Amino acid sequence: MLCETWSINDEAIELPGYTTFSNNRSVLHSAACVGSSGVAILLDGVILQEFKVDSVDLSYEGIVLVILRHHSCDTTIAFVCCYAPPEHSSRGSEADAVFEHFIQILYQYENVDDTFVW
């Protein structure tokens, strides 16, 4: 899981053998020269041989959630990657909203077997 990828819009990190799920800022701050606060989850192809992607949530900038379900049983795993901007940054006022949405996601998917947060 990667925080602050500096990617924008649909840019994705590509690594051979991995599938990338990313959520990047769609609008840059006027003073930014590169993307900021993008997040990504890269899943190894070996994992995806055992698990299928059950759902992906990209509904909030700075948060990406991927739910995996094992092919032969009902075991589910949630991967959540979240980035909240520093308090004194140009987007620092957004930190509370990011955290609130992050908590909502955790409650929404509380019935998964394992949750990994970064």
Amino acid letter for position 117: V
For the chain, give the percent of residues with pLDDT over 90: 29
The contacts of residue 16 (CB under 8 Å, 6+ apart) are none
pLDDT at 118: 79
Q: Which residue has the higher pLDDT, 39 or 93?
A: 39
For the chain, give the percent of residues with pLDDT over 70: 71
Q: How many domains does the chain have?
A: 1
Q: What is the mean pLDDT of residues 30-43?
A: 70
Q: What is the pTM of this model?
A: 0.78
pLDDT at 37: 66
pLDDT tens by residue, 59-115: 887 888 999 999 999 899 999 988 877 666 665 567 778 788 889 988 998 899 998
Q: Which residue segment(s) compose the domain that 67 sits in? A: 2-117
Order the strands of the 2-3 sheet from edge to edge: 2-3, 39-44, 18-23
Place of tokens 């990504």: 40
